[in-house]
Amino acid sequence: MRVAVVGAGAIGAYVGAALHRAGAEVHLIARGAHLEAVRRDGVRVLSPRGDFTARPPATDDPHEIGPVDHVFLGLKANAYATCGPLVRPLMKSDTAVIAAQNGIPWWYFHGLPGPYEGYRIETVDPGGAVSATLPPERAIGCVVYAATEIVEPGVIRHMEGTRFSIGEPDRTISARCLAFSEAMVAGGLKCPVEADLRSDIWIKLMGNIAFNPISALSRATMIEICRHRETRELVIAMMRETLDVAARLGCHPEMSIERRLSGAERAGDHKTSMLQDLERGRPLELDVILAAVVELADLTGAAVPGLRAVNAVADLMNQKITGDTQGAVPAR
């Protein structure tokens, strides 16, 4: 099996190192100091499960790799529309794309029978730009339950979690999913193939949709948000609204709000990925995590006042980071 990891950051390099350790032919695509460190010293993984070093080849030029069986996308979802130059040289007729993204994926309604089959979510796939780059029929969904970070170039700290749930948009248990799952398990990771991955998507989104933007707006950690009475109530309201949208789309995740809150409290003084991006001056992943659910609420007729208000404020903050004033009201 040939696998290319596009965006070999904290998650991508961790997955690539695990697959390489299992004997898969893995190629990492990275850049800058991180790329140079991986080329020189390999990927060093620091983990409570045991430290190890893997030395897969790494490059910033996908043409050096050529066509592969699987592309693992470790990029932020807001980079998908422009990642064509990185992924096209890796494609053959049956190359699968494993998209390890947060939030609502661009392929959500692909192969999903019902009144919204084939619906394109504009906030996730503006003008069809993502689908043009990553055709939905190539997509394998992936929900990540692992926490990693780049300690220094080439060094990945794995804090917790080893599960990477994957699944086909059309809910089949495909040979390509089973093959990738087998390679991941051989590398020491959990990789269940789910017939209904959308349920996993909504379960993870329940937390991300509330804690991520609130943490960025307040600069607060997970436990601080949970222990502040008003923000805790806001989180609960946002989770309820999210579950209502999911239900209107025919998805009923088996996860209670209290259980999700308990998990967040156990994370302690953890900074969400959105807060970390804010502190580094990077654009926030608002579109797939929050704006997409507001769009789906409009599609299904759900009332989501909490989500809508937080999205408005967070979007304004994101505009100040990116300098994008596309949504600004013209001056009188």
Catalytic residue among 92, 204, 271, 320: 204
Helix axes 292-300, 305-322, angle to 10 degrees: 140
**DSSP labels, 130-175:** HHHHS-GGGEEEEEEEEEEEEEETTEEEEEEEEEEEEE-TT----H
Exposed, middle or buried, 107 (CB in 10 Å: 0-12/13-18/19+)? buried
Q: Tell me how far apart the alpha carbons of residues 56 and 72 are, in angstroms, rounded to a whole number.
A: 14
Q: Kind and range of the H or E element at 35?
A: helix 32-41
Is residue 204 flagged as an active site residue?
yes
Q: Are 155 and 46 in contact (CB under 8 A)?
A: yes
Beta-carbon contacts of 48 under 8 Å, excluding residues fewer than 6 positions away, are 158, 159, 160
Which residues are marked as active site? 204
